[in-house]
Structure 1
Amino acid sequence: MSVSAAKHARELLLKEYRGVLSTHSKSMPGFPFGSVVPYCLDEQGYPLILISRIAQHTHNLQRDPKCSLLVGERAAEDVQAAGRLTVLAEAKQLDDAQAIEAAAARYYRYFPESADYHRAHDFDFWRLEPVRSRYIGGFGAIHWVDQVALSNTFAGESELSMIEHMNADHSKAIAHYIELAALPAQSPAQLVGIDSEGFHLRIGKSIHWLAFPTLCNTPGAVRQALVALAHADVWPVNNDA
């Protein structure tokens, strides 16, 4: 398994924000049960989901936490030639108050509408802890990936501070990023996440991840990358690919 395969697999997980969660059916033993779920990545780089206590997949996970999450390139014209990733994982419900608070703060940025039904109904946060992943980058590019996750260096106050600053003071820069990346120019458009490899934009109700031209391990490096992108004529090539 190459380092680039792990990186490309993680980038696909970052770029997408919904997938098919497959669990072991409780009511139909022996059969897999698939359902569509939105997700974002937590501070450890693990998929974070918010699911109802009465949902079938929740009952399944309570009985057997082994599951998988399948994500693929959105709007792919040739699904067999497109990238896709199957993450085999152990699902764990968050029960620590501090962990739930941190999960809610992150998840609500990505999916603000979820705050209402989370408070009004019986929904809980679950983390999918990857065990092994199968990445297909197209014909002939097939890899088992043992480590797909990468911890977010900035998770917490550092990330929130950068996000709030960009959204409050640099809307023109955000609009320029959207134009450079040829993303839909819809409103509202805001940064919702920053990691060492790139950043997430929420445009309308869609989530888009854009890669930095190089790895950014400090807030200063992130600032330099965002300033450079705000003045760029084209989106720069990722030098870490």
Structure 2
Amino acid sequence: MKDQPSPLRETDDEARKLARVLLRSARYAAIAVLDPETGFPFASRVLLATDIDGTPVILVSRLSAHTKALARDPRASLLTGEPGKGDPLVYGRLTTQCVAEPVEHGHRFHERIRTRFLDRHPKAKLYIDFPDFLFFRLKPEQASLNGGFGRAYHLDGSDLVIQSPAIEAIAAKAAETVRDLVERHPDVADILAVRLNAPESGSWRICGVDPAGFDIISGDFLVRHEFETLAVDCDHICSNISKIAYSIP
């Protein structure tokens, strides 16, 4: 009997980029955890953001079933990817297997995660500081990418996380970098939306930068753009964004 061909394609840079965009552009995700009482998978929906290194971040109530499950077993899976018109299975989606790390008040990452989360989900300001809410960083271990029919790939967790010595320096100045850029170019986000073929919407704004790219948001729409190469500092990020917005196509 002949061996059946593998359904997996060789993972290349195009697949890695698609996976990163599917994860980093998601405003929400389906999360699956292990029910501590029954051992069965338990699925729910969570708001999603990313830390400065691209690690997905969720904000959850300690009272929720998935939070209690993660406290007992930190393993979880995230499903990201938006279907469109027609057959939902022709659209890309990513299943990321993660290990959850709690980030509570006082944690060294808490303030930057809080800032980045609110930039993406401003309505969360109503409850983000409640004592029964906390963040989890969901450290990717491995992932399965389905880019549509016949386009299946396996990825390592390292394919989804930004590996850069400039991470901490950029994190310290990220908010200031966006403020300075917008002060110099008040229309930059709306111009970026046009250049990136974003959906027609109201006013756009930059809601996050990191060494690998930036995010713009307008209402329920979020667009992620990845740089060709990692930025080495905040000036490099500004330069990359300005070139995309204002260079002649």
Q: Is the 8 A contact 2:11 2:154 kept in 1?
A: no
Q: Is the 8 A contact 1:184 1:203 kept in 2?
A: no
Q: Go from structure 1 to structure 2 and tell me whether the alpha carbon gap of 1:101 and 1:204 turns closer, same or farther (over 3 Å shift).
A: same
User: Aligned equivalents of 2:103 and 2:237: distance in 1?
Assistant: 30
Q: Does 1:163 align with 2:178?
A: yes
User: Aligned equivalents of 2:85 and 2:181: distance in 1?
Assistant: 31
Across the aligned residues of Structure 1 and Structure 2, the Cα RMSD in angstroms comes to 2.3
Q: Does 1:150 align with 2:159?
A: no
- For 2:144, the aligned partner's letter is R
User: Aligned equivalents of 2:192 and 2:53: distance in 1?
Assistant: 26
Q: Is the 8 A contact 2:190 2:203 kept in 1?
A: no
Q: Go from structure 1 to structure 2 and tell me whether the alpha carbon gap of 1:210 and 1:58 turns closer, same or farther (over 3 Å shift).
A: same
- For 1:221, the aligned partner's letter is H
Q: Does 1:52 align with 2:67?
A: no
Deviations 1:165-197 (A, max 9, x none): 233332222211112223245445211111233
| 1:31 pairs with one of 24, 40, 51 | 40
User: TM-score, structure 1 length as denominator?
Assistant: 0.86
Q: Is the 8 A contact 2:48 2:56 kept in 1?
A: yes
Q: Go from structure 1 to structure 2 and tell me whether the alpha carbon gap of 1:9 and 1:208 turns closer, same or farther (over 3 Å shift).
A: same
- For 2:178, the aligned partner's letter is I
Worse-superposed segment, 4-13 or 209-218: 209-218
Deviations 1:23-73 (A, max 9, x none): 11234x132111111111112321110000111111111121111001113
User: Aligned equivalents of 2:86 and 2:131: distance in 1?
Assistant: 38
Q: Go from structure 1 to structure 2 and tell me whether the alpha carbon gap of 1:206 and 1:2 turns closer, same or farther (over 3 Å shift).
A: same
Q: Is the 8 A contact 1:91 1:127 kept in 2?
A: yes
Partner of 2:214: 199
Q: Is the 8 A contact 1:213 1:225 kept in 2?
A: no
Aligned to 2:90, the other structure's residue is in SS state: coil
Taking the TM superposition and a 5 Å limit, the aligned residue runs for 1:65-214 are: 65-75=74-84, 77-95=86-104, 96-120=106-130, 122-146=132-156, 147=158, 148-151=160-163, 153=166, 155-212=170-227
Q: Is the 8 A contact 2:213 2:226 kept in 1?
A: yes
Partner of 1:61: 70
- Give the superposition deviation at 1:202: 1.9
User: Aligned equivalents of 1:114 and 1:134: distance in 2?
Assistant: 30
Q: Go from structure 1 to structure 2 and tell me whether the alpha carbon gap of 1:210 and 1:116 turns closer, same or farther (over 3 Å shift).
A: same
Identity percentage of aligned residues: 27
Q: Go from structure 1 to structure 2 and tell me whether the alpha carbon gap of 1:101 and 1:231 turns closer, same or farther (over 3 Å shift).
A: closer
Q: Does 1:224 align with 2:239?
A: yes
User: Aligned equivalents of 2:103 and 2:64: distance in 1?
Assistant: 17
Q: Is the 8 A contact 1:43 1:151 kept in 2?
A: no
Aligned to 1:134, the other structure's residue is in SS state: strand
- For 2:243, the aligned partner's letter is A
- For 1:168, the aligned partner's letter is E
Q: Does 1:42 align with 2:54?
A: no
Q: Which runs of 5+ in 1 are unaligned?
A: 235-241
Worse-superposed segment, 83-92 or 116-125: 116-125
Worse-superposed segment, 179-188 or 160-169: 179-188
- For 2:233, the aligned partner's letter is T
Paired residues, number: 233
